[in-house]
Structure 1
Amino acid sequence: MNIETRVYQLLSGSSDLIQLLENLRLEPFEDGENGIWKHEIPPLFCKKEHAPFLRISPIFESDGSYFDDAARSEEQRVLISFWCHTDTQAYQIKRCIDHVLKSNEFTHYTANENPRYRDTDIDLLMNNRKYRFFDWKNNEEE
């Protein structure tokens, strides 16, 4: 399974995260949207009133952990960007995302990057979190 799909399913399936986003949002989404998207946020929903909302983007996939000249795992990395109004909201959302992903064998990582900044295009606080996952292959996949 692609990492963005795996992360989307985990985050969308978290009633704690969905409830938190709904409680922080000034205007609810219509049409059953939950505020979590893969690859891009539809322009209709990319509005300050709809914050917080999240975007999931794959950023790396490569074989790893070789045994007998064959890759036994694939390292997958994902960037989760989310927009919110305040530092307090950013902290709450970050903790909830961390809980969901870390309890599903994801590791948070970052290196010399700016985790939060004001996105002047939409006047919201933009947050970036990177996670990695090792997808271990079993013998049936060969």
Structure 2
Amino acid sequence: MNIETRVYQLLSQSFNLSQLLESMRLEPFEGKENGIWKHEIPPFFCKKEHAPFIRISPIFESDGSYFDDTAYSEEQRVLISFWCHTDTESYQIKECIDHVLKSNDFTHYTANENPRYKDTDIDLLMNNRKYRFFDWKNKEE
């Protein structure tokens, strides 16, 4: 399974994350939208009133561990970006995402990067978090 699909499923199925995002919104989403998207946020939903919202983007895939010149794992990395109103919201969302992903064998990582900054295009805080996952292959594969 692609990492962005795996992360989307985990985050979308988290009742705690869904409730947290909904409680912070000035204007709720209508229909089936949950505020979490892969690759691109539809322009209609990219509004200050709809924040917080989340975008999931794959950033790396490569064979990992080898044994007898055969790869037995694939390292996958994902960037999770989310927009919110305040530092407090940022911390709460970060903690919730960390809990969901770390309890499903993801590792958070970052190096010399700006985790949060003001997105002046929309006047919201943009947050960036990177996670890695090792997809171990069965010997039969």
1:6 aligns with 2:10: no
**Structure 1, unaligned runs of 5 or more:** none
* Paired residue type of 2:7: V
Give, in whole Å, the separation in 2 of the partners of 1:26 and 1:15: 19
User: 2:119: which partner in 1?
Assistant: 119
Q: Deviations over 1:65-105 (max 9, x none)?
A: 00011000000000000000000000000000000000000
Give, in whole Å, the separation in 1 of the partners of 2:44 and 2:123: 16
User: 1:45: which partner in 2?
Assistant: 45
Say what the alpha-carbon RMSD is for the aligned residues: 0.4
Please tell me whether the aligned partners of residues 72 and 139 of structure 2 are also in contact (alpha carbons under 8 angstroms).
no
TM-score between the two structures when normalised by the length of structure 1: 0.98
1:103-114 equivalences under 5 Å are: 103-114=103-114
Please tell me whether the aligned partners of residues 16 and 96 of structure 2 are also in contact (alpha carbons under 8 angstroms).
yes
How many residues get paired?
Answer: 141
**Structure 2, unaligned runs of 5 or more:** none
* Paired residue type of 1:3: I
Shift of 1:140: 2.7
Runs of 4+ in structure 1 deviating by more than 2 angstroms, as ranges, are none
* Paired residue type of 1:61: E
TM-score between the two structures when normalised by the length of structure 2: 0.99
Q: Deviations over 1:5-33 (max 9, x none)?
A: 00000000000000000000110001210
Secondary structure of the equivalent of 1:8?
helix
